[in-house]
Amino acid sequence: MIATLKFTTLLLAVVVCRATQDYGYKDVEEPTLGDSQYGSLWPLPQKVQMSTVAFKLSGVSFQIVDAKESSSGASCSLLQNAYRRYDEYIFPISRMQGQNKKKAFASVSELQVWITSADSECDNYPSVTSDESYELSVDSPVAVLKAPKVWGALRGLETFSQLVYEDEYGAKSINRTEIQDFPRFTHRGLLLDSSRHFLPIKVILANLEAMAWNKFNVFHWHIVDDPSFPYMSRTFPQLSQQGAYHPYTHVYTPSDVKMIIEFARLRGIRVVSEFDTPGHTQSWGKGQKDLLTPCYSGASPSGSFGPVNPILNTTYDFMAMFFKEVSTVFPDAYIHLGGDEVDFSCWKSNPDIQKFMAQQGFGTDYSKLESFYIQRLLDIVTTTNKGYMIWQEVIDNGVKLKADTLIHVWKGNQQQYQAEMARVTASGYQALLSTPWYLNRISYGQDWQAAYKADPQDFNGTDAQKKLVVGGEACLWGEYVDATNLTPRLWPRASAVGERLWSDKDVKDTNDAYSRLIQHRCRMVQRGIPAEPLFTGYCAHEYKGEVSTATLNQPTIISARGAVASSTLLSWRLWMSRMAPRL
Amino acid sequence: MIATLKFTTLLLAVVVCRATQDYGYKDVEEPTLGDSQYGSLWPLPQKVQMSTVAFKLSGVSFQIVDAKESSSGASCSLLQNAYRRYDEYIFPISRMQGQNKKKAFASVSELQVWITSADSECDNYPSVTSDESCECPGMMFVFLVGALSLETFSQLVYEDEYGAKSINRTEIQDFPRFTHRGLLLDSSRHFLPIKVILANLEAMAWNKFNVFHWHIVDDPSFPYMSRTFPQLSQQGAYHPYTHVYTPSDVKMIIEFARLRGIRVVSEFDTPGHTQSWGKGQKDLLTPCYSGASPSGSFGPVNPILNTTYDFMAMFFKEVSTVFPDAYIHLGGDEVDFSCWKSNPDIQKFMAQQGFGTDYSKLESFYIQRLLDIVTTTNKGYMIWQEVIDNGVKLKADTLIHVWKGNQQQYQAEMARVTASGYQALLSTPWYLNRISYGQDWQAAYKADPQDFNGTDAQKKLVVGGEACLWGEYVDATNLTPRLWPRASAVGERLWSDKDVKDTNDAYSRLIQHRCRMVQRGIPAEPLFTGYCAHEYKGV
């Protein structure tokens, strides 16, 4: 009975016309479009068996419930919130009222969620060791989702919702299915940069939502950098007062940060903050006197500033207090300390630094000074009991690190980053790959394919080395993105990274992926995220917009179609009502 | 008194940090950012004199009114609509109620709009000959001639450091460099909801574009709902009613555009790019053969059947009434001959006509008959460059749309087209669907449609250009931010004087202009690191 399933009608009807691509722009080959035997599943679970036997889901009676045997009950708000979310995804239109009628066909009336281990971790923060595995068994009349922890239940609920489709009469349907699933990598991250452009909270929340749909589990928040310092520190409020683009419209208050962390937690997503030093700190200097190195032009200060000043004790006093705060504000066990791209020219120009170099016997090797700084910073952060992530330059420059440090590889071409992954893991460090996933780099055409083909374990190394690869991160640096264009630029391109990091390493059939991804992107659009199209075609439910008609100052001719404006308002209210209660 | 003005506080406070661009991605050089002496004006008017004398605009009393001498009065709904629109742009927050208090400072209390010629053209459709010139003599009262210069007036308003709406004494005489300043959107590869089209028409008006080139149908889908042949969209659209433009949709778009001085030029591309037409119109397309029997697939429009021309006559008769503009774009690009070659009936016809094996002669044969049909509707036509490249005879007033090749090639083509006495329109450097990392607006900004070897007479045949956003990779989710402010670069090139080409000055104005678009509700994407005082409120 278990056999290959061919969805005849999918929840998200998608047609992609295979018209020849015009105008001579055939840079990347289009994958061949067929029907995937896996429907619209994304990322593909580790083990899937789908039958052709289909059941219906009744809008009147279907429910997601806690299994009787579950260690987690109605008091687990994380799961209750998730049930509500997925109920709305499965039944986006209001559900019918009324008596459940006698049925002439087999149906799934319940999805039972069964947390099997004694501690469900319902009230915990997700961590690098969180168990995200689950088993899903869809049958009539009951489907069962078994997971050791709530984190697996979250992943399984998403998978369940992806199995639901509409038959040709619009009835919600699901096929008999058995799934055993777990992530290939424990660290599946997305970096957003809120310094080069300030990202309104709404944008961050929307992208956390999309991350959950793609089974990402780490939001790497590159929160401050040279251009602006939007993090509002309780200990040093002048940092954002002086260093943000605007002292209150362009900052993240402590309660904003709290809200984002909680919103992420409810979706099984860790929030790892990055406070990058000693470079990339121009904005820090505006609110913190003497923190940065004064650059000299000849014998006198030029008025400009360089990296953090590593020779003053006040610097380390500041860092100790600052990172003490950060370690309490961000509950995650890791902090990303940056450490990339330190420009030595300012240090070189400064006579006090030169003297210090001589005293320390560093000669003219300024990477030794960098190491000196980083070493002291790591000592400080270690006292907060946090682990740390760091960009690859730190290890390239030979700084001594704790054995459990995560090295974040981001530089070079394919050959170079593979060599770096080999080097880092040969030294016994854990490694994280981002180089092929700098999604801010755009090009014309289907660039998701290149992201999809990259693999973090694809380098010359022993099995032991490969095991030190904890995953990767898609990065969307902020030079050219803000609230206007970030979300469509990111999705569904980041989805390609999501599957690479979750699914088995042999899941690499681009044609099969293309078919699933087209449907997955339409699903994201239907759920309210403006994920951009992969190619010519359409979704049954197109994006309803946020191109604000409120300002379109319609003349009477438009108000005759008042629906235009009011539907915008409606979708906005819907969105907020979906988001807000979960905070 | 008239002197260079340095805005100290701008309506749209913009700071762009000059941090070094990180991560080794320095593909295009960043322009140097300074303050432009022209504030946030975009596109730059032909002649601007700004003084440092600033006046205030009162939220209580300021009004846009018809000048007494104006030939256009309160019955001109086009202007009344525009007054309302610009009032809201200038005072986005609700205006104060109450008595106008005695003021201690000079203010501008009225903007008088004075239409000087006897016929204001208020109820007309804009046309290729529409006069878009204006003057803005600045005194205590401001007079505007050429109502679309309201946009310019709104761009002069800024906030002083206390948030008071201010405007400097200014004299502007303005007119467009080119008469055809177009934007092509493609609603076939992806269906574009009406809302998206309207939003982009709005943004076009802010950038003084005046032609919406609606590439409405193509191979992938046929969303135009024809009254005469409803089965075309019934069968050829992605969906027969959720993904079509009904006649009233089209009417609304045309009226919305008219109110903003924008022409709507529809394109119904034949004989190629017509796969979607074949679904609803039997025998319209050429059956392709594989060997001796039909393969089941279809090629371009079948040029050898009389029924084809009967259909086209009826179809274009409808189109010519639905779209009031004097021009129709007939396409004519990229005709693939392989299907024609495979078809024995076509081969026979070729022999009969003495075309030998030169299929471009067959293409010419089709186009020629199509042009004769369209001529009977009293419309002029635009056509992609292949038609002339293939030697089809055209009416003298045909607009040739140049889109192919690299810089050298398109410049040679512009020279060739105009040397043959045809009017030309450039799009090659403005295929904005082609994206790349970084500040690619600069390349668009630097291109110039008159930049080719030719006589003055040839240069005069250049009527303008069009930014094109083909639809393979854009739909409602990403179209608007991908288009703006990149299309703004094309807007200035086509409106402003040809010597306006200082990229640094443009960068300063464009950054402010994009923040203004964001504040007015259009998600125009950022040019680089920085911020707007009022960020985009959507997702």
pLDDT tens-digit readout, B279-308:
999 999 999 999 999 999 999 999 999 999
- The shortest CB-CB distance from A441 to any of B437, B472, B477 is to B437
pLDDT of residue A105: 79
Q: Give the end-to-end CA distance of chain A in Å, rounded to a whole number.
A: 44
* Distance to chain B for A536, nearest Cα, Å: 5
pLDDT band for B74, please (50, 70, 90 cuts).
confident
pLDDT of residue B72: 77
pLDDT of residue B393: 79
Stretch A337-343: mean pLDDT = 93
Stretch A96-119: mean pLDDT = 83
Q: Which of A1-15, B154-168, B375-389 has the lowest mean pLDDT?
A: A1-15
The full DSSP string for A540-566 is SS-----S-GGGS---HHHHTTTHHHH
On chain A, the residues whose CB falls within 8 A of the CB of B239 are 538, 540
Distance CA A328, CA B179 (A): 63
> A202 exposed, middle or buried (CB, 10 Å; 0-12, 13-18, 19+)?
middle
Q: In chain B, which residue's Cα lies nearest the Cα of A575?
A: B539
H helix or E strand, kind and range, residue A174: strand A172-181
| Cβ contact, residue pair A21, B473, below 8 Å | no
- The yes-or-no verdict on residue A231 having pLDDT over 70 is yes
- The shortest CB-CB distance from B477 to any of A481, A543, A552 is to A543
Nearest of A573, A528, A550, A489 to residue B199 by alpha carbon: A550
pLDDT band for B520, please (50, 70, 90 cuts).
very high
pTM: 0.90
- The yes-or-no verdict on residue A283 having pLDDT over 50 is yes
Q: In what side-by-side order are the strands of the sheet with B63-66?
A: B63-66, B110-113, B141-144
On chain B, the residues whose CB falls within 8 A of the CB of A569 are none
On chain B, the residues whose CB falls within 8 A of the CB of A562 are none
Report the DSSP beta bridge partners of residue B287.
B298
| Cβ contact, residue pair B478, A489, below 8 Å | yes
| A535's tokens | 């190619």
Report the DSSP beta bridge partners of residue A192.
A221, A476
Q: Which of A31-35, A272-276, B142-146, B358-362 has the lowest mean pLDDT?
A: B142-146
Report the DSSP beta bridge partners of residue A171.
none
- What is the pairing mode between strands A430-433 and A406-409? parallel
- The yes-or-no verdict on residue B150 having pLDDT over 70 is yes
On chain A, the residues whose CB falls within 8 A of the CB of B433 are 444
Between A99 and B107, whose confidence is greater?
B107
Percent of chain B with pLDDT over 70: 89
Stretch A476-485: mean pLDDT = 98
- The yes-or-no verdict on residue A530 having pLDDT over 50 is yes
Which residue, among B22, B333, B338, would best test binding to A if mutated, counting the most A CBs under 10 Å from its CB? Answer: B22
pLDDT of residue B30: 75
- The shortest CB-CB distance from A488 to any of B334, B477, B535 is to B477
| Cβ contact, residue pair A15, B533, below 8 Å | no
Q: Which of A308-312, A467-471, B151-155 has the lowest mean pLDDT?
A: B151-155
- Write down the mean pLDDT value for chain B: 89
- The yes-or-no verdict on residue A204 having pLDDT over 70 is yes
Distance CA B458, CA A566 (A): 51
Q: Which of A406-415, B62-71, B528-537 has the lowest mean pLDDT?
A: B62-71
Stretch A558-576: mean pLDDT = 35
Stretch A208-217: mean pLDDT = 98
Distance CA A205, CA A221 (A): 12
- The yes-or-no verdict on residue A568 having pLDDT over 60 is no
On chain B, the residues whose CB falls within 8 A of the CB of A484 are 481, 518, 523-526, 536, 538
SS3 B294: strand
CB neighbours of A532 closer than 8 A, spacing ≥ 6? A488, A489, A491, A492, A493, A521, B473, B474, B475, B477, B478
| A190's tokens | 């997305």
- Write down the mean pLDDT value for chain A: 89
pLDDT of residue A29: 66
pLDDT of residue B199: 97
* Distance to chain A for B535, nearest Cα, Å: 7
pLDDT band for B235, please (50, 70, 90 cuts).
very high
CB neighbours of B63 closer than 8 A, spacing ≥ 6? B109, B110, B111
| Cβ contact, residue pair B477, A228, below 8 Å | no
B454 vs B399, B462, B463, CA distance in Å? 18, 11, 15
pLDDT of residue B472: 97
| Cβ contact, residue pair A480, B528, below 8 Å | yes
Q: In chain B, which residue's Cα lies nearest the Cα of A279?
A: B22
- The shortest CB-CB distance from A535 to any of B473, B481, B530 is to B473
Question: For B44, which DSSP code?
Answer: P
With the C-alpha atoms ordered B404, B408, B411, B412, is the resulting torsion angle positive or negative?
A: negative
Distance CA B462, CA B443 (A): 20
Between B24 and A408, whose confidence is greater?
A408
Distance CA B489, CA B467 (A): 10
- The yes-or-no verdict on residue A566 having pLDDT over 60 is no
| A247's tokens | 């002292």
Distance CA A185, CA B19 (A): 35
Q: Is the peptide bond before A141 cis (omega within 30 degrees of 0)?
A: yes
Dihedral (C-alpha) B184, B185, B187, B191: value to the nearest 10 degrees?
180
pLDDT of residue B252: 97
| Cβ contact, residue pair A441, B531, below 8 Å | no
| Cβ contact, residue pair A485, B525, below 8 Å | yes
Give me the phi and psi of A474, to 5 degrees please. Answer: -80, 135
Contact of B295 with B338, CB cutoff 8 Å: no
- Count of positions (residues) in chain A: 583
Size of interface A-B (CB pairs under 8 A): 233
| Cβ contact, residue pair A484, B221, below 8 Å | no
Catalytic residues of B: 334
pLDDT of residue B29: 66
* Distance to chain A for B14, nearest Cα, Å: 9
SS3 A168: coil
CB neighbours of A313 closer than 8 A, spacing ≥ 6? none
pLDDT digits (tens, 9 = 90+) for B253-288: 999 999 999 999 999 999 999 999 999 999 999 999
* Distance to chain A for B20, nearest Cα, Å: 9
Between A103 and B196, whose confidence is greater?
B196
On chain A, the residues whose CB falls within 8 A of the CB of B410 are none
Q: In chain B, which residue's Cα lies nearest the Cα of A564?
A: B195
On chain A, the residues whose CB falls within 8 A of the CB of B533 are 246, 249
pLDDT digits (tens, 9 = 90+) for B408-442: 999 999 999 999 999 999 999 999 999 999 999 99
> A75 exposed, middle or buried (CB, 10 Å; 0-12, 13-18, 19+)?
exposed
pLDDT band for A102, please (50, 70, 90 cuts).
low
User: Which among A29, A69, A341, A542 is annotated as catalytic?
Assistant: A341
| Cβ contact, residue pair A555, B480, below 8 Å | no
pLDDT of residue B98: 62
